[in-house]
A and B are shown apart, each in its own frame.
Chain A
């Protein structure tokens, strides 16, 4: 089984919200605490067993840093990190630089 770290994005494989993608907010033994900033907000996250989820992606750097350092994040920033809202979490200006 792939290691599920804080900040990574997982898909719930069981239950009535099967298929929904969440971010891992914290880990506690065989349990994960999950939120998506919408149906499961940060103030009332969901607890789920490791074996009932699958890894979607390694997550977002900005979100992971915030969660690991214990800094506050908002539900909107979480939704942005999960790609539900356009734009980048924590970034408000758009660059005009070209890429190599």
Chain B
């Protein structure tokens, strides 16, 4: 079921979202050559806990860390570890914070030092996909209007959108209904709901520089591009209002 949020719930989600967004920003600033992904995870974990929130991903379905850090050809769900970032790496950082029972979920992709032209363009287009989608996040529109905006923006730029993983509703739980695909598909019955005021969704373009195929790495969590091409990810928790989309994962 797709839950509609009350003003009180929205305020709690905004508070959780502000913590998640600040943690994402912190990780972005710390993503420099030489730092390990484990150190980034620890810093974000401490930041979230220090603000009275809980890192949503820690233990979620058994995920062992507080942040998903995916480097270069890794799309999402990378497990932080001993890997040290190098100049030119593309680092996707996905953060979730739960406060007072509500979740803020957001992600961004950063370039360590100076990136290739392709990497810079991929990051820029991925963010652009999100903001194109926001133009359609209005009451009365459908989820597929968001999906179409992301897909057209990515494919018109020569990139592809990941098919096997999608955005989602978010609220008391990290993953709620509805699913928010980044591509238009033949809808299953009831799978293309209209957007209405009070819905809270995580819109998250996952864009590959090459083909859209993905593979699951041996750790069982990390998703990487099948062809080894670069991948970028950008995400915010968004509230549907009568005046349009309001991003809840924004720093205060």
Contacts and interface: CB of A to CB of B under 8 A. Distances in A.
B199 interface: yes
A8 B4 contact: yes
B164 A64 contact: no
B150 interface: no
B73 interface: no
A100 B3 contact: no
Interface string B167-211: 110000011011101000000111101101011001010100000
A95 B4 contact: no
Contacts, number: 91
Interface size class of B (residues with CB under 8 A): 35 or more
Interface stretch (A13-21, A29-37, A84-92): A84-92
B74 interface: no
A91 B189 contact: yes
Interface of A: 2, 7-8, 55, 57-62, 64-65, 80-81, 83, 88-93, 95, 97-100
A64 B206 CA distance: 31
A64 B140 CA distance: 12
A42 B233 CA distance: 45
Contacts of A8: 4, 6
B191 A91 contact: yes
Contact of B181 (A2, A65, A81, A97): A97
Contact of B5 (A58, A95, A98): A58
B190 A62 contact: yes
